[in-house]
Structure 1
């Protein structure tokens, strides 16, 4: 198959770009097209070889169907889609290994269900970076607890990458006079939003103060962050859409853009760094367990 890739590149006149890594994607049949599209968009910044491993019926006859995309269909990358059937469906590592780029980093991304312990998974054990997405889990908060208990250097999660802009805005607000310590933090976010928990865990660890999550309705994501200080509170709120409001003592309220990030943007960010993300590890392993969860009180009927 490697020879076929070289031949195709020569036939279509694809540019001789250096592939910087191999991105392996274990994915189900229902999600493969969407996952490959996301990887294609993300790889514009990071030319790579994308290997999508699609597990079919493990009880059928052994069969391997392969599709190769180069040039216009794959941009600056190479995309290989492998559909595995029969006993081969459980041998993703053996199927992918001959196609890994030599002397290049390996990244595994699970766009849907991911193993309980990513680093112990046969494919995860090959990789320098392992990307999960706890937002896709049936019970996101329980999934964060699993990831924390099995964390290994190189693990990360797209739910963490989605809070990058929130982190930047809050850090910029705190990097202004009067440089006071924060006494308490309150994050308002959906109870099913792992990003809200990771943001709260990061704030608690970074600011070393009590941190609370007030749960909002499911599906609403992160709504606001309230930082209490002696001179007055800092409030960053995004109740809907991509527009947010920042309130700081002694300054006029400011409307700022705080967009929801696409999966392709988040994946591109994670492909940009191949070293362990120690800040994520701190938020996940040490920060979240210290966060107090406050459920909204229900008003009595009538």
Structure 2
């Protein structure tokens, strides 16, 4: 491990090269570059999750910690770790402050692994417009977490407005076990579904996506039954045209599956650590069309999957947030997910 205080981007690149030589082949065969954007207070959470994900997907991990953007003097502190506490990967933790925090790409870009996909994950409130963040513009896949926003469901709607092919959200990842169990219920029935009810708190983004997914796949209008007795989605109930009913009710780390005329069955429904959720999203680097369909249904915006993956960087200074973006500004830079022509 090499620690660099009040350093420069060039020194970070040299330190990483030195650590790679010392470690030998510890982190060879990297499949992607994972950029993590996080605030100082949540660095440990992000590092722990990224370590789990990196164990499943060999990568170069670049953790960008943005803080104190109002500081008059810019500063960069970095920690370079190869095959150490952050798992079997090449990792660089960069703490940026002052105006440098708004231009972290100047340090990150030279550290990208050539000819492999780039994934950017924001561990914190998602950006209102990803095009304002160059670290999102250069990525092939972009992972947000609407649950971190003050109004999670409203944040999901903003994700739909701002959607580009390759975007995803961890609120969607969290309902993968639910979707698996619901889809599995159709293995033993061909009855048409005529209605559904999802019981969840009103601010639960997973419930919003679950309802939208059911609506998009089944052509129905599910009902959201609000509850304040549980912190997250409690149950999903389906009604069939033949009068049968199917239900999944969460009980700690399992779900009770009930179907008319059949005995109850207990199914696994474990709440996974953040690192496993992140690892799931790194398994696929193409656009998730099922997610875009559900998100579009939620927001009433069809054909989200038809949107291009390429974004144009729009510079936005937080100190001038009230000023509209100028399309002809020389700081508006065309960029896309492909540094290798994809």
Deviation at 1:13, TM superposition (A): 4.5
Deviation at 1:17, TM superposition (A): 2.1
SS in 1 for 2:181: helix
Instruction: Identify the match of residue 32 of structure 2 among 21, 36, 39.
Output: 21
Deviation per CA, 1:226-258: give whole Å up to 9, x if none.
1000241001111x4112100112321101111
Task: Indicate the residue corresponding to 2:233 in structure 1.
Answer: 222
**C-alpha distance 137-144 of structure 1, shift in aligned 2 (>3 A):** same
Map 1:235-274 onto structure 2 (within 5 A): 235-238=247-250, 240-274=251-285
- Kept in 2, the 8 Å contact 1:14–1:70? The answer is no
Task: Indicate the residue corresponding to 1:40 in structure 2.
Answer: 51
Instruction: Identify the match of residue 116 of structure 1 among 124, 128, 135.
Output: 128
Instruction: Identify the match of residue 160 of structure 1 among 148, 158, 172.
Output: 172
SS in 2 for 1:83: strand
Instruction: Please give the alpha-carbon distance, in whole angstroms, between the structure 1 residues aligned to 2:131 and 2:279.
Output: 21
Instruction: Please give the alpha-carbon distance, in whole angstroms, between the structure 2 residues aligned to 1:214 and 1:129.
Output: 33
Q: What RMSD over aligned residues (CA atoms) do the two structures have, in Å?
A: 1.7
Query: Which ranges in structure 2 are unaligned for 5 or more consecutive residues?
Result: 1-11, 302-342
2:65 counterpart of 1:79 = no
Instruction: Please give the alpha-carbon distance, in whole angstroms, between the structure 1 residues aligned to 2:152 and 2:110.
Output: 34
Map 1:26-105 onto structure 2 (within 5 A): 26-58=37-69, 59-105=71-117
**C-alpha distance 289-31 of structure 1, shift in aligned 2 (>3 A):** same
- Kept in 1, the 8 Å contact 2:27–2:82? The answer is no
2:297 counterpart of 1:286 = yes
**C-alpha distance 169-41 of structure 1, shift in aligned 2 (>3 A):** same
- Kept in 1, the 8 Å contact 2:126–2:148? The answer is no
SS in 1 for 2:193: coil
**C-alpha distance 227-288 of structure 1, shift in aligned 2 (>3 A):** farther
Task: Indicate the residue corresponding to 1:106 in structure 2.
Answer: 118
Deviation at 1:70, TM superposition (A): 1.2
Deviation at 1:86, TM superposition (A): 2.1
Query: Which ranges in structure 1 are unaligned for 5 or more consecutive residues?
Result: 291-302
How many pairs align?
Answer: 288
Map 1:145-156 onto structure 2 (within 5 A): 145-156=157-168
